[in-house]
Amino acid sequence: MAAVNSGHASAAVSPAAGYSLSVVVPVYNEEAVLPEFHRRLAAVLDGIAGTAEIVYVNDGSTDAGMALLADLHRSDPRVAVIDLSRNFGKEIAMTAGLDHAGGDAVVVIDADLQDPPEMIPAMLRAWQEGHDVVLMRRRSRAQESWLKKATARAFYRAMGRMGTIDIPEDVGDFRLLSARAVAALRRFPERSRFMKGLFAWIGFPCTEIEYDRDGRHAGETKWNYWRLWNFALEGITSFSVVPLKIASYMGFLVALVAFARGGYFIVKTLVYGDPVPGFPTLVVLVLFLGGLQLMALGVIGEYLARMFIEVKQRPLYLVQRCLAPAQPLTVPAAGPAIDIAAAHALAATPGRWPSR
Ligand code: UDP
Ligand code: MG
């Protein structure tokens, strides 16, 4: 436990002798890009000093993606495939990949070639310098519409104000994590997995590398504005209780005004009698308060819904098939610089690959 909680650069891995790298790739309907993606990634991994595994997580693709992945598994001994039982969404797919990744360093990368695999050697260098987390900051978002950019900016600003943690802007899921950072992430039991928030929550020595985010190589994005809105809602409700507070303060304020006004009316009626004016005031007040109450109830409902999901304690994901890499990551002869066994014990994931 101490290993995870002591955030010291000196305690990070010093992978001088030999190291292993896991690359986690969530895949959902990416048949158009997969072959090209794998070609580019494999070329990069051929050039690095350490041993590598590629953990593809098939997130319930409905295209020929799984067949393609099985082919890659046959032709490349570094390839592992986790076939989820259905589409669980990218956050869960990444979690499944991280749960199975056994490298001293783990890189999470999109399959659509928006995150260039050619950046991996630079990320490894930053990790070797002693950083547990290497964030990739997008220098340009050239391909994205101004509306998407503006909404993203507004979201990060809102998160920054309301949240308890700072979520770096212009940083996606493309990043490198050390074994102990991954072990830390495995200890999060929550079902609402706002990965950007979780990544930020764990802390550890961290550095950033800037890169140019390419456009999608082929296929199309799975994000539409409705999904993005829900994603933002997930982020805010997972990491901030400020909306609940706003709801209660608004209620308090309105009640205060209502009491003062009520007192005024009572006194006025007692002194001057009541000639029955004020019908519009009544209607306006009823509508206003009704709206306010519904809004507050809605906010409470959002949190309640998430509690409902959490208390059910359902498994995060189900795996229907697991293809272990033909050439598993081996611990270097000299012994790893960090106690990988201890890191994994922390993670409490007994046996990464089921025995075949
Ligand atoms: N993805 C996934 N499950 C999903 C949606 C997406 O595993 O339900 C994967 C997808 O295959 C890709 C990555 O997540 O590798 C990013 O998806 P996408 O390109 O659609 O998102 P964007 O780059 O537009 O944010
Ligand atoms: Mg993409």
**Token match 């390839």: residue?**
79
Ligand 1 site, residue 91, Cβ cutoff 6 A: no
What mean pLDDT is predicted for residues 323-330?
80
* CA 231/CA 321 separation, integer angstroms: 28
- Shortest-distance Cα residue to atom 24 of ligand 1: 221
30-46 pLDDT, tens digit per residue, is: 888 899 999 999 999 99
Tell me how far the alpha carbon of residue 329 lies from the centroid of ligand 2, in angstroms.
28
Atom of ligand 1 lying closest to residue 89 CA: 8
Q: Is 214 in contact with 116 (CB distance < 8 Å)?
A: yes
191-223 pLDDT, tens digit per residue, is: 877 877 888 888 888 888 888 877 776 667 767
Ligand 1 site, residue 141, Cβ cutoff 6 A: no
* pLDDT score for 294: 76
**pLDDT band at 337; cut points 50, 70, 90:** very low
Q: Which of 85, 110, 141 to mutate to test the pocket of ligand 1 (most atoms within 8 A of CB)?
A: 110
Ligand 1 site, residue 143, Cβ cutoff 6 A: no
95-107 pLDDT, tens digit per residue, is: 999 999 988 999 9
**pLDDT band at 333; cut points 50, 70, 90:** very low
Ligand 1 site, residue 82, Cβ cutoff 6 A: no
Does the structure show a pLDDT above 80 at 60? yes
**Which of 14-23, 73-82, 117-126 has the least mean pLDDT?**
14-23
Q: Which of 86, 222, 227, 231 to mutate to test the pocket of ligand 1 (most atoms within 8 A of CB)?
A: 222
Structure letter (DSSP) for residue 119: G
Q: Which of 23, 25, 27, 28 to mutate to test the pocket of ligand 1 (most atoms within 8 A of CB)?
A: 28
Ligand 1 site, residue 223, Cβ cutoff 6 A: yes
Ligand 1 site, residue 115, Cβ cutoff 6 A: no
Does the structure show a pLDDT above 90 at 121? yes
- Shortest-distance Cα residue to atom 21 of ligand 1: 221
Atom of ligand 1 lying closest to residue 57 CA: 7
Ligand 1 site, residue 99, Cβ cutoff 6 A: no
Does the structure show a pLDDT above 70 at 249? yes
Does the structure show a pLDDT above 70 at 348? no
Task: Return the ∠ at Cα 206 (arms to 204 and 209), rounded to 5°.
Answer: 160
SS3 350: coil
**pLDDT band at 338; cut points 50, 70, 90:** very low
Ligand having the closest approach to the CA of 82: 1
Give pTM, 2 decimals: 0.71
Residues with Cβ within 8 Å of 58's Cβ and at least 6 positions away in sequence, in order, are 27, 28, 65, 66, 69, 81, 82, 83, 84
Residue among 23, 221, 213, 204 at smallest CA distance from 124 = 23
Single-letter residue type at 220 = E
CA 293 to each of CA 136, 255, 280, 284: distance values in angstroms, whole numbers, following the listed order: 43, 11, 20, 14
First-residue to last-residue Cα distance in the chain = 31
140-164 pLDDT, tens digit per residue, is: 766 667 887 788 788 878 777 776 6
Atom of ligand 1 lying closest to residue 29 CA: 11
Ligand having the closest approach to the CA of 33: 1
Mean pLDDT of the chain: 79
Ligand 1 site, residue 221, Cβ cutoff 6 A: yes
